[in-house]
A and B are shown apart, each in its own frame.
Chain A
Amino acid sequence: MKRDSIPILRVGDTLLITVHTELHDTVAEAFQEDVLGAIERSGAAGLIIDISGLDMVDSYVARVLADTGRMARLMGTRSVLVGMRPEVAATLVRMGYPMEGVETALGVDDGLALLATARVR
């Protein structure tokens, strides 16, 4: 799979990443590196990862997503995971992997609003 398969958009001072390919295997590390590189280049204050296109998130993908947010935070960029489908949320909690410490919002708009309020505080 090509490294540039996951599009990264800039909305104001926030980066928006829409994940719709499977984050498995070798794609996962490339994904994290692409995201961190984009943060450095853009100087984005916020990062939104939209997973509304994922119909399954296992513990491996959940860890990749959570780690990406942690890496962004280490760099100084706040990240929000948005668009998790109901069946994905139910599955993660039932299997005992509720992704604690990861900020979430219902959709992209809510994620942007969350980042905006955070900046005012």
Chain B
Amino acid sequence: MDAPVDAVERFTIQSESDIALVRRRVREVAQELGFDAFATAAITTAASELARNVWTHAHGGDSAIARVLDGRRKGVRLEFRDRGPGIPDLPRVLAGGYSTARSLGLGLSGSKRLVDEFHIESTPGRGTLVEVTKWARY
């Protein structure tokens, strides 16, 4: 997770329409980096799931979209950070069989399967940080 990071764009998620805003920008960046339709759909969908989790479970938070370069590889790295209730049983949530407010488990386990790198930190009562990376394929 220590590949050089290029241009970072930050977004605040404070309404439902911000989910669409983040998703649209992720799609644009992925296409600019030469992602094919499958990889673009994967990272855009992951962004949508994670942004929706921030909105649904924490009623808002912050996100960042970064272009990452690792040797000849180009990728998109996304960060979602909130100060919501956190996730008490992370392993179970990541296994996809758990859902407090409908889609938390599906959103996290699903987006984990769509990206190349997935990192999550969650402290009950403090909040959650999710960082994902998807690389372009050549």
A interface, CB within 8 angstroms of B: 22, 24-26, 55-60, 63, 85-88, 90-91, 94-97
Contact = CB atoms under 8 A, between A and B. Distances in A.
A96 B44 CA distance: 16
Contacts of B19: 24-25
Given A24-B20, A60-B103, A95-B45, A86 B110 contact: no
Interface string B103-138: 100110111011000000000000000000000000
20 contacts: A24-B19, A25-B17, A55-B27, A55-B44, A56-B23, A56-B44, A56-B48, A58-B49, A59-B49, A59-B107, A85-B37, A85-B41, A87-B37, A87-B38, A87-B40, A87-B41, A91-B41, A91-B45, A95-B113, A97-B110
* B-side interface size class: 20 to 34
B42 interface: yes
B81 interface: no
Given A25-B20, A87-B40, 10 more contacts: A24-B16, A26-B16, A56-B44, A56-B48, A59-B106, A60-B103, A86-B38, A90-B42, A91-B42, A95-B49
A86 B39 CA distance: 12
B117 to A, nearest CB: 15
B109 A56 contact: no
Interface of B: 16-17, 19-20, 23, 27, 37-38, 40-42, 44-45, 48-49, 52, 96, 103, 106-107, 109-111, 113-114
A93 to B, nearest CB: 10
A115 B103 CA distance: 32
Given A94-B113, A94-B114, A95-B111, A57 B96 contact: no
Contacts of A86: 37-38
Contacts of B20: 22, 24-25
A95 B45 CA distance: 9
A32 B70 CA distance: 45
B41 A88 contact: yes
A116 B17 CA distance: 40
